[in-house]
Structure 1
Amino acid sequence: MKRRASIPYRAIPVLLFLTALIPRLLRPVSRPLVWYLRSAHFIDAVLAGDWANTVYSEHPGVGLMWPVGIGLKVYWTLSGISPAAYTVPPDFEPIHFFGPVPLAEISAGIAPLALLISLGIVVAWWMLLRLFDQPTATAAGFLLALSPYYLTQSKVLHLDAWMATLMLLSALALLLYRRERRRRWLLLSGALGGLATLVKTPAIFLLPFAGLVLLVDLLQRAIREPQSLTRSAIRDLLLPLAIWLATAALVYVALFPTLWVDPQKGLGAVMWGITHHASTAHDTPTYFLGQVLKEDPGPVFYAVALLFRTGEVELTFLAVAVATGALWWIRHRRIPPKGIDLLLLVAYAFFFLAQMSLGAKKMPRYVLPSILALDVLAAAAIVAWARSLAGDHRRWAAALMALPLLVQAGLVLPRHPYYGTGLNWIAGGPTAAARAILIGEEGEGLADLAAYLNERPDAEHLTVAAQLKHVFNQTFRGTTVDIDEPADYLVFHRNYTVRDYKVEQWGGLWERYAPRTPEQEVAFDGVPYAWLYPALPSDVPPEHSAQVHLGTGFRFLGYDLRSTEVAPGDRVPFVLYWQATEPVTADLSIFVHLLAPSGDLVWQDDGAAAHGTRPTWSWPVGETVADPHTIALPADLPEGEYLLTTGLYDWQTGERLPAFGSDGARLAEDRIEVARLTVHHPRTHPAAWIARGLAGLVLASALFATWRER
């Protein structure tokens, strides 16, 4: 008689579904509006029978636009609103669409995506239950539900999280086909693969992965049952691969309306995307290892991104899996059947990253499919670790299995809704990640600044100039304009400032405002993400005042500089303030020098004020002249105390104007000592050492337990 499932067992998929769904559904953080607009026009074109005009991207994104478009259409119908998408025509370039789109409308698009991804995680749990066992499936399910970067991308109207989910399910179905030899798994894998490729073309990786899985199965069978290799290759490799490909192609065509009436148009767009992205880097700059890059960041990009974007629990138990797996091999010289499935998932993760590394276009979110596969490996390591430590004590084993999952939840869930701010402490944490990769991809923190302003009684009458204005205006009650337009407040975000994105639009403003103390700053783990500044009047005084007279007609009023603690490679903005005390006809230059402890010149910026736009002869008497500068510290700058100095001189003779302090005494070398910058190499955060210590203990305990087993 078949044993009935226990209540706790039945509760697992429900609890898993809710754990995955709730954080994905509540407070979406959607930076891109591209797929909102595309999905809105896609579903309208489908319903109007205009199938030829349902190709909106080379990706092609159709697998995303179906559920998102349906979600939006249902919301529009029920709410009776006029969609924000209808403010522009269907052929409007979506990358230039900045809304405003109300957050409720964004949520309506994300809701079906969150629902499908959460269901996908439950289906993955069920597949893993068949592949491995209940503890491994449960651990993997909750690691997937709480994976910080997966969570982050699942809350965004974009392609990668949904593609990664479908790819994982397709890969697991392939492994089940290898294990059970039931054609339904092969058909399911092909269908999921076709749908994943319909979301985004890199999912075509599943085709060679299917070939690898089938080839491994063929070789295993050949070793166990020697027979005609040609016949086996046709029956066990070529025929299943053809069935997989045919199923994928059928789903691809069945759900891509453009292919029904104009296949050349649809496939032409996809093929253009493949060739273009393989040879052309992203058209926006990225930040990698301290440099702003407009070209391919190189083959190590994804390794570094993966290191910071996996969770601490996942990375720890991946190390456990590698170490204990090596010990098992040394001792037994064989691989168990479940071990082959795990190795195939490792190959899936590795070769997908290898495929993505071949293209010039690279973004951190492209590591997501590999993270999901590695989560399964980490879950298997958690179960093996708990069992080896607990021995025959089942309750102890269950408690040990639950412990890493509770740690994962404790590290991730308090970050709601900004899960993307979680960056692996074992790798160095957020401060190290901020120097290595682009973080703040989704505009994290902007909603907090909007909420701060919304508390003001006059919020609806305020105008804010913002970077990522299409994110800020989702929740701000007032008016949001471009960053270079007149406004009451300015909002900056590291997504732009760190990588110089559209720097020609805001670079001068940032150099002017960044040295000052913002009215509000949003930071996570000590890393600032977003800044709010009131608009500066022309006569604003310096934050650090001084009274230095130069010659008979000039005064140095002070400077703005937020911090004197800096690191090699930093860009340090500051502003000097000058004033003419009598009419000026002379054309003098300002010198700004950074001196090493030895007195040697490290950096200089000489010339007229405000980057050459305000020569001294243009200074009216009494006007405060703001003179912004940015020091680019060399990456190899030694530690020490560096002196920032300034003054005026005649550029024709090189003679400096006499400089006198507030006490009337003449300053040495006629130079003003503005500030002393203390240069330190970045220090490892204590939390990183704690995380590494705990990970080391877990790894040591796993090695010890594995070694003592006989």
Structure 2
Amino acid sequence: MIEKLSPSPHFDRRAHWVALGLCLLALVGYLYHLDAWRMNDDEGEYLYQFWRMTEGEMPYRDFLTPQLPVFLYTGALWMKLVGHNLFLLRILPVLLAFATGGLIFGLGKRFGNSPLALMGMLIYLLHPEVYRQSRFFRNEALFLFFGVLGLYLMVESMSHRQRWMRALSGVSFALATLCKFFGVFYVGGVALFFAWHWVSRDQTWREALYDSLTLVLPYGLIVGAVFAGFYLVIPIFPQAVLGHHLMQGQGLSRWEVFLKGLRFLTEYASMYPLLVGIALAASIGDSLKARRWTFIICQIPTVLVFLVLSRNFGPRHLLYLVPSLALLSALGIHTVVGKLGRWGWLAGIVLLSVLTAPWIRADLMRAHQSEDDTMCIARIIQENSTADDVVLGDFPGLNFFAQRRSTYLGAALSIGAASSGQITGAELIQEIADDRVRVIVIDVQSFARHLSHMPDFATFYRYVRANFDLLGEFRREDQVLEIYHATHPPTSTDDPLYIAHVQVADLDGQVALLGYDMDRTVIHPDETLKLVLYWQAQTRMETDWSVFTHLLGPDGKVWGQMDQLPLKGLFPTSKWGKGEIVDDEYAILVAPDAPPGAYHLEVGMYNWMTGERLPVFDADGQRITGDQILLNPIITVLPNQ
């Protein structure tokens, strides 16, 4: 039988007023410049989807999204209530963050006392990832609220022996899972708690089973009913929400997945060493003997699941664990306070300050971020399209700010969807033709770009440049956006590939040179020779090979060269899908003092980290000395004018 979890007798009413004061102070920090930064790509995607839902569209049927129904419909309802004002939209996740902080305060009081609860709440609200994600309209704030509410209801059910509250806890965990799949981790942690106490012989197996069923049945019924309902109405629903996760990293071996997960957990611990260290120390201390703290401690082992998941993860994916880490850290600090006697509180304040001071600095820096480029780009899109036109872009958020509809797949563009093959260039080309897309926006610089992660991006990029006019390159903070416009949107999906000069060469069975094109074969010094190389991927590659192009003079010296990752660094070879043909452009400046005579171009690939060249073989399979390809034409360099 699970004993009642009773609160500590050390109850200080003043802590409520202190908590309220700190919450109000923190709220000011959360609301400061709340709408000044619009460049959160995930939030932009969600805002676009909320907007389309307020216009009568249905997720999964009318636009692709991997997001889950509770989050989507909550967001759409909130947008319906407050409109498109970004500040008002972001108020909801901020309020949810503070509601979650209040629940953490309640858990802290239930497990310990008011000062401990206050520290736990403060650690949670100041955590940089909590602050960052709660200032955007993302699924984390709603997910964390339902998840921590489920934990709170579970504790209350054990304290008052009310199984109906345990059932409500299952409902809350279900709502968390229908915001973000990580909600299942909370259920897993509670299941570990039940198992721990059965193994410890604090419960019979019948009691443990009954307690588990009281939680799992409502959880499973709600999640199952929602999935079944959407599947019956929209059969693509499971593929839309699961494919985004399951397709990422599908080519990795189990060992590679394990190492990837281990690296992720290690990196997180190195980001927050004091938080993780104090929490783990508290977990293996005397608190492990206290039944009430094992409930929170049992949430920690759920991180081991990341060792078997192949998709990419970031710090935000461990947000579900921050409430537990915050409470355990507060417990650790409180333990230090208790052991040091009269100087304990001073030590506690110092320890809490050392823990949170870097976070406050990071939060303040983030609060002062602002940008106006997004609205400038939105106006450019509006000026070159009508309200009925379709716009496809690297960032669906621009569609929201410009109030322009995207394509079905374009609504869910992300690095994960593009790199996993859930969204391909061929499918987008078909949508461009079917939807008569008017404007296309492609990020050609930032690390956050999405489209260039598609395995067939080169084909897509070639199609866009052949069928659309480039309006120009426009800066959006660290992004450089190429905006294309079509006066008469294309209806054909034909690949405009044309290789002017065929010359085939094999580069170690990984890449083949198919041919080239150049703008001239007679040139003066200090002029630029434009060259296009046509490569084809023979297999999927792990190395990002760089391309070298050397203009060799009669004396064998290099009188002009240009080295770069393919497609101006936009499409590294590790992203090429097998069979993809890449038209790779170069502008080679002839040296001003280049002597007149007959020149040749040599090209090839090399590892930019080691300088090692990719082996080149001739038609007979013999390796070519120097691992370079001499292009056929002789280039005549004339005397200086």
TM-score normalised according to structure 2 size? 0.58
1:651 matches 2:632: yes
Amino acid aligned to 1:317: L
- Distance in 2 (alpha carbons) for counterparts of 1:302 and 1:637: 28
Change in CA separation of 1:74 and 1:389 when aligned onto 2, cut-off 3 Å: same
Given that 1:317 and 1:378 are in contact with CA atoms closer than 8 Å, whether structure 2 keeps it comes out as yes
Change in CA separation of 1:73 and 1:294 when aligned onto 2, cut-off 3 Å: farther
Deviation at 1:407, TM superposition (A): 2.5
Given that 1:127 and 1:176 are in contact with CA atoms closer than 8 Å, whether structure 2 keeps it comes out as no
- Distance in 2 (alpha carbons) for counterparts of 1:509 and 1:41: 28
1:500 matches 2:500: no
1:316 matches 2:274: yes
What is the match of residue 70 of structure 2? Answer: 63
1:8 matches 2:15: no
2:397 to 463, 466, 471: 471
Mapping for residues 344-493 of structure 1, pairs under 5 Å = 344-351=298-305, 353-354=306-307, 357-358=308-309, 360-364=310-314, 365-384=316-335, 392-416=343-367, 447-450=371-374, 468-472=394-398, 492=444, 493=446
- Distance in 1 (alpha carbons) for counterparts of 2:323 and 2:399: 33
Provide Cα deviations, 1:344-379, integer angstroms capped at 9, x if missing partner. 13123434x35xx34x54443544324454344444
What is the match of residue 94 of structure 2? Answer: 114
What is the match of residue 503 of structure 2? Answer: none
Q: Percent identity?
A: 11
Deviation at 1:251, TM superposition (A): 5.8
Deviation at 1:414, TM superposition (A): 0.8
Provide Cα deviations, 1:283-339, integer angstroms capped at 9, x if missing partner. xx99xxxxxx89997234344445556784x3323134446766x5xxx89744465
Change in CA separation of 1:572 and 1:242 when aligned onto 2, cut-off 3 Å: same
Amino acid aligned to 1:651: N
Provide Cα deviations, 1:414-452, integer angstroms capped at 9, x if missing partner. 12376xxxxxxxxxxxxxxxxxxxxxxxxxx9x553467
1:557 matches 2:527: yes
2:247 to 281, 285, 288: 281
Change in CA separation of 1:194 and 1:21 when aligned onto 2, cut-off 3 Å: farther
> Which secondary structure does the structure 2 equivalent of 1:496 belong to?
coil
Deviation at 1:530, TM superposition (A): 1.8
Deviation at 1:145, TM superposition (A): 2.1
Provide Cα deviations, 1:645-688, integer angstroms capped at 9, x if missing partner. 9x997738xxx7686997x9xxxxxxxxxxxxxxxxxxxxxxxx
What is the match of residue 265 of structure 1? Answer: 232
What is the match of residue 622 of structure 1? Answer: none
- Distance in 1 (alpha carbons) for counterparts of 2:149 and 2:235: 28
Amino acid aligned to 2:104: A
What is the match of residue 530 of structure 1? Answer: 479
Mapping for residues 35-184 of structure 1, pairs under 5 Å = 35-36=46-47, 38-39=49-50, 61-76=68-83, 104=85, 108-175=88-155, 177-178=157-158, 181-183=161-163
Provide Cα deviations, 1:89-137, integer angstroms capped at 9, x if missing partner. xxxxxxxxxxxxxx62x55544334322331222222222212333443
- Distance in 2 (alpha carbons) for counterparts of 1:112 and 1:611: 47
Deviation at 1:471, TM superposition (A): 3.2
- Distance in 2 (alpha carbons) for counterparts of 1:630 and 1:175: 68
Provide Cα deviations, 1:48-81, integer angstroms capped at 9, x if missing partner. xx9x9999889672321343222122234xxxxx
Deviation at 1:244, TM superposition (A): 1.5
Change in CA separation of 1:396 and 1:505 when aligned onto 2, cut-off 3 Å: same
What is the match of residue 241 of structure 1? Answer: 212
- Distance in 2 (alpha carbons) for counterparts of 1:64 and 1:367: 18
Deviation at 1:193, TM superposition (A): 1.0
- Distance in 2 (alpha carbons) for counterparts of 1:125 and 1:631: 62
- Distance in 2 (alpha carbons) for counterparts of 1:479 and 1:37: 9
Given that 2:45 and 2:396 are in contact with CA atoms closer than 8 Å, whether structure 1 keeps it comes out as no
What is the match of residue 260 of structure 2? Answer: 301
Deviation at 1:638, TM superposition (A): 6.8
Change in CA separation of 1:407 and 1:480 when aligned onto 2, cut-off 3 Å: same
Change in CA separation of 1:396 and 1:591 when aligned onto 2, cut-off 3 Å: closer
What is the match of residue 430 of structure 1? Answer: none
Given that 1:64 and 1:159 are in contact with CA atoms closer than 8 Å, whether structure 2 keeps it comes out as yes
Mapping for residues 684-703 of structure 1, pairs under 5 Å = none
TM-score normalised according to structure 1 size? 0.53
1:212 to 182, 187, 192: 192
Deviation at 1:510, TM superposition (A): 13
Amino acid aligned to 1:495: A
> Which secondary structure does the structure 1 equivalent of 2:632 belong to?
coil
Deviation at 1:281, TM superposition (A): 0.9
- Distance in 1 (alpha carbons) for counterparts of 2:543 and 2:341: 49
> Which secondary structure does the structure 1 equivalent of 2:527 belong to?
strand
Deviation at 1:409, TM superposition (A): 0.9
Change in CA separation of 1:395 and 1:150 when aligned onto 2, cut-off 3 Å: closer
Given that 1:16 and 1:141 are in contact with CA atoms closer than 8 Å, whether structure 2 keeps it comes out as no
- Distance in 2 (alpha carbons) for counterparts of 1:610 and 1:215: 59
Amino acid aligned to 2:108: L
Change in CA separation of 1:384 and 1:503 when aligned onto 2, cut-off 3 Å: farther
Deviation at 1:411, TM superposition (A): 1.9
Given that 1:126 and 1:137 are in contact with CA atoms closer than 8 Å, whether structure 2 keeps it comes out as yes
What is the match of residue 83 of structure 1? Answer: none
- Distance in 2 (alpha carbons) for counterparts of 1:489 and 1:333: 55
1:634 to 607, 618, 621: 607
- Distance in 2 (alpha carbons) for counterparts of 1:592 and 1:32: 42
- Distance in 2 (alpha carbons) for counterparts of 1:632 and 1:498: 24
Change in CA separation of 1:387 and 1:489 when aligned onto 2, cut-off 3 Å: same
> Which secondary structure does the structure 2 equivalent of 1:299 belong to?
helix
> Which secondary structure does the structure 1 equivalent of 2:453 belong to?
coil
Deviation at 1:4, TM superposition (A): 4.2
Given that 1:166 and 1:193 are in contact with CA atoms closer than 8 Å, whether structure 2 keeps it comes out as yes
What is the match of residue 569 of structure 2? Answer: none
Q: Which runs of 5 or more residues in structure 2 are unaligned? A: 1-8, 386-390, 411-427, 466-472, 485-519, 531-541, 553-558, 565-572, 574-581, 589-600, 613-625
Provide Cα deviations, 1:592-622, integer angstroms capped at 9, x if missing partner. 6879xxxxxxx9xxxxx9748999xxxxxxx
Given that 1:558 and 1:577 are in contact with CA atoms closer than 8 Å, whether structure 2 keeps it comes out as no
Which is worse superposed, 367-376 or 62-71? Answer: 367-376
- Distance in 2 (alpha carbons) for counterparts of 1:611 and 1:14: 56
Deviation at 1:460, TM superposition (A): 8.3
Change in CA separation of 1:304 and 1:267 when aligned onto 2, cut-off 3 Å: farther
Amino acid aligned to 2:345: R
Q: Which runs of 5 or more residues in structure 1 are unaligned? A: 77-102, 223-228, 287-292, 419-444, 512-517, 523-528, 536-549, 561-567, 579-589, 596-602, 604-608, 616-627, 640-644, 665-710
What is the match of residue 673 of structure 1? Answer: none
> Which secondary structure does the structure 2 equivalent of 1:531 belong to?
strand
Given that 2:182 and 2:320 are in contact with CA atoms closer than 8 Å, whether structure 1 keeps it comes out as no
Change in CA separation of 1:575 and 1:534 when aligned onto 2, cut-off 3 Å: farther
Amino acid aligned to 1:241: S
Which is worse superposed, 112-121 or 478-487? Answer: 478-487
Given that 2:146 and 2:175 are in contact with CA atoms closer than 8 Å, whether structure 1 keeps it comes out as yes
- Distance in 2 (alpha carbons) for counterparts of 1:414 and 1:21: 14
- Distance in 2 (alpha carbons) for counterparts of 1:450 and 1:33: 11
Change in CA separation of 1:498 and 1:508 when aligned onto 2, cut-off 3 Å: same
- Distance in 2 (alpha carbons) for counterparts of 1:389 and 1:25: 45
Given that 1:315 and 1:378 are in contact with CA atoms closer than 8 Å, whether structure 2 keeps it comes out as no
Amino acid aligned to 2:276: L
